[in-house]
Amino acid sequence: MLAIKLAYRNLIGAGLRTWLNVLVLSFSFLIIIWNRGIINGWDRQARNDTKNQEIGGGQYWHENYDPYDPFTLADAHGIIHEKLQEKTNYAPVLITQATIYPGGRVQSILLKGIEPDQKILTIPTESLKSDIEEIPVMLGSRMAENNKLKIGDFVTVRWRDANGTFDAADAQVVHIFKTDVPTIDNGQMWVPLQRLQKMMQMDGEATLVVVNQEITSAPDLPHWVFKDHDILLKDFAELIKMKYVGGYIMWFILLLLAWIAIFDTQVLSIFRRQKEIGTDIALGMTRGQVIRLFTVEGAMHGILAAILAAIYGGPLLYLQAVKGMSMPEGTDDMGIAIAETIYPYYSVGLVVVTALIVLITTTIVSFLPTRRISKMNPTDAIRGKIQ
């Protein structure tokens, strides 16, 4: 307790030098929490949006389906297993390649058939309930913008059925939806499942089946393989890990600047206060107690930095958590799930762990220069000489 009181008095007595170190350390502390909060917020939003709009609690894939190989789509379909036909828990999707001709241009797309009355995914499939003669199609906003299509527009669609016969028909855009998940938007058109099954001559067949979010694990079935979140979100998880690595590098640089400032301060403090150190040892303080005193002084930089960061940084972090951070234009074309506005997520664990890291590393850096005290001769120190 005495060491803490003496350390606090010495820090306050140092004046501006102490507060400059505390300010730099608090800035590093704040940037670490802010950066990690942004990545955590992006991760949570993207995962939730992807689960709600694309993958649900997981997906059953036909054994021949490979989303990275479009040439497998010709064989990646089969009769929906009887255990996957319950509409309250499963939403079948049939996928096939097709070509559209918007404005006289040619573009290859994926036609995706889905039940208009499904409740597993939150995309507005009910808009596909239409009795028009043309094929009712639903587009994502990126797909509509890239092809200059609006609600009510017509476009010619050509496809190849299960027998290898080419066919074509006019499609009408009945709905355009906004989504942060590009994998259900770019280069895709959604149509009623039964309509697509009839067009493809694949009655009762599907390419994949989306599972209710309450079902997160399930056994494989004949010709159907279950894919859980770990598999379906693997690419995004790898991206987030890369972002964390970049964040760690930035954190290290910021903390390194603060550590250097504290280290230099400790070295200067020991040099300037050598007479005081010699006097304390001569009056009965052990070298261990003196080392502890200087180490506590350095560690208190971390404590004061956390308090200062909470005073001026807390309101800033809270304001951004409420208002969010708007992303620049063009990020929605990057091919990854990212919202127009990211809301940071600051957990209690994040704040506590960051505070502990700053406090522990600051204490270690403060201890390193104090080792010279163990080699100090009290008589020489009082005379102003230090080894």
Q: 227, 258, 290 — which closes off a domain?
A: 227
Strands (E), 194-269: 205-206, 208-211, 224-227
Please indicate, yes or no, if residue 6 is contained in any of the structural domains.
yes
| One domain for residues 354 and 272 | yes
- Chain mean position to CA 357: 22
Q: How many angstroms separate the CA atoms of 201 and 199, rounded?
A: 6
Specify the DSSP element, H or E, that contains 100: strand 90-100
Please indicate, yes or no, if residue 21 is contained in any of the structural domains.
yes
**Can you tell me whether residue 114 is helix, strand or coil?**
strand
Q: Taking residues 313-339, report their average pLDDT.
A: 77
| One domain for residues 222 and 254 | no
H helix count then E strand count, the chain:
10, 13
Res 205: pLDDT: 94
| One domain for residues 163 and 200 | yes
| One domain for residues 63 and 149 | yes
| 258 φ/ψ angles, rounded to the nearest 5 degrees | -70, -40
Please indicate, yes or no, if residue 181 is contained in any of the structural domains.
yes
Confidence class for position 236, pLDDT limits 50, 70, 90:
confident
| 188 φ/ψ angles, rounded to the nearest 5 degrees | -135, 150
| One domain for residues 15 and 90 | no
Number of domains into which the chain is organized: 2
Res 373: pLDDT: 62
Res 5: pLDDT: 66
Res 351: pLDDT: 85
- Chain mean position to CA 116: 31
Q: What is the pTM of this model?
A: 0.78
Please indicate, yes or no, if residue 135 is contained in any of the structural domains.
yes
Please indicate, yes or no, if residue 387 is contained in any of the structural domains.
no
| One domain for residues 168 and 72 | yes
| One domain for residues 254 and 351 | yes
Q: 227, 257, 277 — which closes off a domain?
A: 227
**Domain region containing 179:** 58-227
Res 269: pLDDT: 67
Q: How many angstroms separate the CA atoms of 208 and 77, rounded?
A: 8
| One domain for residues 107 and 45 | no
Please indicate, yes or no, if residue 39 is contained in any of the structural domains.
yes
Confidence class for position 175, pLDDT limits 50, 70, 90:
very high
| One domain for residues 87 and 218 | yes
Q: How many angstroms separate the CA atoms of 351 and 357, rounded?
A: 10
| One domain for residues 70 and 157 | yes
Q: How many angstroms separate the CA atoms of 331 and 324, rounded?
A: 16
Confidence class for position 2, pLDDT limits 50, 70, 90:
low
What is the per-residue pLDDT across 100-135, written as a single tens digit (0 to 9) for each? 998 888 999 999 999 999 999 999 999 999 888 899
Q: 188, 209, 227 — which closes off a domain?
A: 227
8 Å CB contact between 187 and 67 = no
- HSE value, Cβ hemisphere, 13 Å, CA-based, for 162: 18
| One domain for residues 209 and 309 | no
Q: How many angstroms separate the CA atoms of 291 and 172, rounded?
A: 79
| One domain for residues 259 and 299 | yes
**Can you tell me whether residue 212 is helix, strand or coil?**
coil
